Chains A and B, each alone.
Chain A
Amino acid sequence: MLTKRIIPCLDVKDNRVVKGVHFLNLHDAGDPVELGARYSDEGADELVFLDITATIRFRKTIVELVEKVAENVFIPFTVGGGIQTVDQIDELLRSGAEKVSVNTAAVQNPQLLTEAAQRFGNQCIVLAIDARRSKERKGKWQVTIKAGSELTELDAVEWAVRAEKLGAGEILLTSMDADGTKAGYDNELNKAVSDAVNIPVIASGGAGKLEHLYDAIVEGGADAVLMASITHFGNYTITQMKQYLASRGIPVNL
């Protein structure tokens, strides 16, 4: 049986790892390569690196980062941030990334998911969704793009279902409402999406306590849990998270 995955997320801005609240008020959390290698040594199952410097434009520095990470990290890692074309995906995969994550570009050009999946296999194409609870439509979530700065009319659950058909192999689902609050994941959102698709869902945004990880898996139906604040600032080690989940009967790679 596959284990549930613990995935530290490294938001990278100007070559430093940063972490904010609701995508704002960024604090420095260290060097991306050092931090990535440390999490890999500590037993993280995967890593996600998101270049948040440019939300729309692809930057060459991300390729250099991937090359450096690949020399030091021996677990799978995903990279995202401003990716718009199949050629950019090719370059990142050849530089050592296992998967790439696309967000804004997939909303603007859904065909990108299909082209990328046909060329590289859907296992390496991650669709990132930044979702916000809708003010007008109760019990629904709207997709935001450009690092959460622009609200679209897309419904998050419908978009996830459509993206799976188009070629996404995994959904990285971030709740903008919960991001950085350490108050727990939005498990209604996680459940709504994980029930609607057959591909793995990574729950993201809001991890503050060990129970939150368990809740995202059990209540939210997530296949993996992503966290930033609680690992970067030393609240819990990866081992503590896994031991906790194992003690509550969740299969993990300890």
Chain B
Amino acid sequence: MLIVIDYNVGNVRSVCNAFRHIGCEAKLSCNPEDIESAAGLVLPGVAAFGYAVSALGSLAELIKKLALSGKPLLGICVGYQMLFDRSAEYGRHNGLGLVAGDVIPIPAEQTVPHMGWNLVKLPEDIDLFAHLPEEKHFYFAHSFYADVTDTDAKIAYTDYGFPLPASVQKGSIYGTQFHPEKSGKTGLKVLENFSKICQRKAT
């Protein structure tokens, strides 16, 4: 069973719907017992960074502990940004610090928000992209991005006038700046890959 962490931010329903559609059991919960016993965790997020971090509250420490112990974790959009050290969105806010890097504004010479379908180069060594071609389009909607400085993290990029990190993997910690739950069949494939990673870990 996957747990989609319910911390009252925006549209988390779509993530659950997408897992259900691919036949994967995923439950929306904020109960620490559910979170501890889950095969894998999904941290969604449609909100401003600071709001999301404070809404997560005491669950942050638990998620961090479980992720460091090897439980697969997938952060999506702001949930992905929260994997990093800190963000500059509306003030300074600390993230979970699981992956080294800062969340900073997209340069003003680009159209902000970065919204729509953009092509992501998919490195073979990122498990989320197993059985996918070398590059695929995904749906993005964000105004800040993660400047990844972690030398242990594997990074997939998209081009938005500069190489913009679209996804990271560090051990069994995964994150996507794009919305796999809104990226059609390709996005569903990414979620299916994550669910398989969790199954393999659990057995």
Contact = CB atoms under 8 A, between A and B. Distances in A.
Given A1-B159, A198-B111, A253-B117, A74 B10 contact: no
Nearest to A95: B13
B117 A5 contact: yes
Interface residues on A, range: 20 to 34
Interface residues of B, number: 31
Interface in A36-84: 40-41, 43, 45, 70-72, 74-76
A95 B184 CA distance: 19
Contact of A3 (B14, B116, B187): B116
Nearest to B191: A74
A1 B119 CA distance: 7
Main secondary structure of the interface of B (DSSP, over half): mixed
Contacts of A71: 17, 20-21
Interface in B158-190: 159-160, 179, 181-185, 187-188
B137 interface: yes
A74 B11 contact: no
Contacts of B185: 41, 74
B11 A98 contact: yes
B183 A75 contact: yes
Contacts of B118: 1-3
26 contacts: A1-B160, A2-B117, A3-B116, A3-B119, A3-B137, A5-B116, A5-B117, A40-B184, A43-B184, A70-B14, A71-B17, A71-B20, A74-B187, A76-B141, A76-B182, A93-B10, A93-B11, A94-B10, A96-B11, A96-B13, A96-B14, A122-B113, A123-B141, A123-B143, A200-B116, A223-B116
Interface of A: 1-3, 5, 40-41, 43, 45, 70-72, 74-76, 93-98, 121-123, 169, 198, 200, 223, 253
Interface of B: 10-11, 13-14, 17-18, 20-21, 48, 111, 113-119, 137, 139, 141, 143, 159-160, 179, 181-185, 187-188
